């Protein structure tokens, strides 16, 4: 008895400083897939190649988001809507004791945290060494009777009846499955401070296959569900996180994600809007109008997903059409076609390289967000600039280009999303 309480007491002493260090708030570098720090970086690609590829990935991800959105809206359970190929932002995480460094995809569009584990049958070829649970002193399988097991969309028991098993099938046939487990995760925070989080529930994948990138080894889900990192950290971070995405043309400075006290978005220019919160996993807000040059296009209260992993902004076709009509009246440049068909409004800027494109104001419930051309147009090639807002039926997504240079705070306790204009290369 005495030894049990002593053990508990020592455990508490051990945990306190760790939790305290997270409680003060912490910030982690977000590595863009195209940054030289990223394992996915390909130096042979130009900025234009990368923009076009990220745009194509947006369209593929949009298909899956739409599927997830319609299932969730009809009350059906669905699995992770996102395939890891849609990786845009990565985070370095140390898993286990001793630590095993992995690059994980940071994703506001999914919940489960997972990484590939040894042994991995049928795993996609991977460059980073796999995490070996047998070599970690802090690894524990989770029982299939544990409540955390019931949070999975399709919980299952191992054949020996003891271990919680997870399986995620992605719409394109990719899948990951393995043990639901708990482990210590260590984040390298700003100032090279280690923030150790004990007992993080994660999927230790022993079988994953499909269209995954071979140099990223897992996902950190930041969605609204119980298994996401945000929900797991809960009161330790006051259920708050924020990020600031540097413009995608900037490759020498990283973006940042913050948790807890560091995630409070404040100042004179902050605007905020309710998170609609009726869907599991996805963050949605209500879009009410778009304004170009004082001329408004009303929107019939449209729920849009705010997403880290989609690059372009995606809106209803009639809305995009009205927007394009207004823009073509204001922008007096020759139009050109995107040969790939991803973008629908492109201009030839070869004779007007310094052309100013108009601001577009997105009015969310209670929050007017004025987006400059940095957030709404991309350079397709040397002489072509395209609108980074494209049409898809039955879907609205505010993509990461639209979010650049805003400090964006998610407050899950108060169900609010806040925006403040920022220079993300400095803050």
Q: x/- contact string, 142-171, with ligand NAG (CB under 6 A)?
A: --------xx------x-x-xx--------
Site for ligand NAG contains 278 (CB under 6 A): no
Question: Residues 355-393, buried b or exposed e (16+ Cβ, 10 A)?
Answer: eebbebbbbbeebebebebbbbbbebbeebbbbbbbbbe
Active site residue 172: no
Number of residues that bind ligand NAG (CB under 6 A): 20
Site for ligand NAG contains 226 (CB under 6 A): yes
Single out the catalytic residue among 54, 94, 107, 238. Answer: 107
Relative to beta strand 397-398, strand 295-306 is parallel
The CA distance from 343 to 389, in Å, is 8
Q: x/- contact string, 66-105, with ligand NAG (CB under 6 A)?
A: ----------------------------------------
The CA distance from 409 to 411, in Å, is 6
Site for ligand NAG contains 289 (CB under 6 A): no
Single out the catalytic residue among 34, 94, 213, 307. Answer: 307
Q: x/- contact string, 369-388, with ligand NAG (CB under 6 A)?
A: --------------x-----
Could you tell me which residues are beta bridge partners of residue 187? 93, 195
Site for ligand NAG contains 127 (CB under 6 A): yes
Active site residue 307: yes
Residue 172 main-chain phi, psi, to 5 deg: -90, 10
Q: Which tokens belong to 250? A: 């900037």
Output the smallest distance, CB 357 to ligand NAG, in A: 13
Site for ligand NAG contains 125 (CB under 6 A): yes
DSSP states of 260-287:
GGGG---STT-EEEE----SSS--EEEE
Output the smallest distance, CB 412 to ligand NAG, in A: 13
Contacting ligand NAG within 204-223 (CB under 6 A): 214
The CA distance from 396 to 413, in Å, is 24
Pick from 3, 5, 252, 294: which binds ligand NAG (CB under 6 A)? Answer: 294
Site for ligand NAG contains 414 (CB under 6 A): no
Q: Which tokens belong to 316? A: 């209803």
* End-to-end CA gap in the chain: 51
Q: Which tokens belong to 405? A: 């240079």
Site for ligand NAG contains 293 (CB under 6 A): yes
Output the smallest distance, CB 10 to ligand NAG, in A: 24
Contacting ligand NAG within 383-412 (CB under 6 A): 383
Site for ligand NAG contains 356 (CB under 6 A): no
Contacting ligand NAG within 34-73 (CB under 6 A): none
| 3-state secondary structure (DSSP) of residue 422 | coil
The CA distance from 27 to 425, in Å, is 14
> Vertex 273, ends 309 and 90: CA angle to 5°?
20
Active site residues: 107, 307
Residues making contact with ligand NAG (CB under 6 A): 125, 127, 141, 150-151, 158, 160, 162-163, 179, 192, 214, 226, 293-294, 336, 348, 350-351, 383
């Amino acid at each position: 008895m005495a030894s049990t309480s002593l053990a508990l007491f020592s455990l508490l002493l051990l945990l306190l400083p760790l939790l305290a260090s997270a409680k003060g708030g912490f910030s982690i570098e977000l590595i863009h897939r195209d940054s030289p720090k990223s394992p996915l970086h390909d130096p042979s690609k130009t900025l234009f190649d990368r923009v076009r590829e990220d745009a194509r990935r947006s369209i593929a991800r949009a298909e899956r988001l739409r599927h997830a959105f319609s299932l969730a809206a009809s009350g059906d359970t669905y699995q992770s809507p996102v395939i890891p190929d849609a990786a845009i932002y990565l985070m370095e995480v140390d898993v286990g004791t001793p630590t095993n460094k992995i690059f994980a995809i940071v994703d506001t569009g999914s919940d489960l945290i997972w990484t590939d584990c040894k042994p991995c049958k049928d795993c996609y070829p991977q460059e980073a060494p796999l995490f070996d649970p047998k070599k970690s002193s802090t690894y524990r399988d989770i029982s299939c009777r544990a409540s955390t097991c019931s949070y999975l969309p399709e919980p299952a028991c191992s054949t020996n009846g003891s271990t919680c098993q997870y399986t995620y099938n992605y719409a394109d046939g990719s899948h990951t499955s393995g043990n639901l487990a708990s482990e210590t995760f260590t984040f390298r925070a700003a100032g090279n401070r280690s923030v150790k989080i004990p007992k993080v529930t994660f999927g230790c994948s022993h079988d994953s296959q499909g269209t995954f990138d071979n140099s990223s080894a897992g996902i950190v889900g930041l969605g609204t569900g119980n298994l996401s990192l945000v929900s797991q950290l809960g009161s330790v971070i006051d259920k708050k996180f924020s990020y600031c995405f540097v413009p995608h043309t900037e490759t020498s400075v990283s973006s940042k994600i913050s948790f807890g006290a560091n995630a409070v978005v404040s100042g004179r220019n902050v605007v905020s809007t309710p998170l609609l919160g009726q869907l599991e996993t996805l963050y949605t807000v209500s879009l009410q109008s778009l304004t170009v040059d004082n001329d408004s296009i009303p929107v019939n209260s449209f729920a849009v997903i705010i997403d880290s992993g989609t690059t372009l902004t995606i809106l209803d076709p009639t809305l995009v059409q009205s927007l394009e009509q207004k823009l073509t009246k204001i922008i007096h440049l020759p139009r050109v076609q995107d040969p790939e068909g991803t973008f629908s409004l492109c201009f030839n800027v070869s004779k007007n390289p310094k052309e100013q494109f108009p601001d577009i104001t997105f009015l969310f419930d209670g929050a007017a967000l004025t987006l400059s051309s940095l957030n709404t147009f991309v350079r397709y090639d040397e002489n072509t600039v395209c609108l980074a807002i494209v049409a898809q039926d039955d879907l609205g997504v505010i993509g990461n280009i639209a979010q650049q240079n805003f400090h964006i705070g998610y407050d899950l306790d108060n169900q609010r999303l806040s925006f403040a204009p920022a220079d993300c290369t400095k803050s």
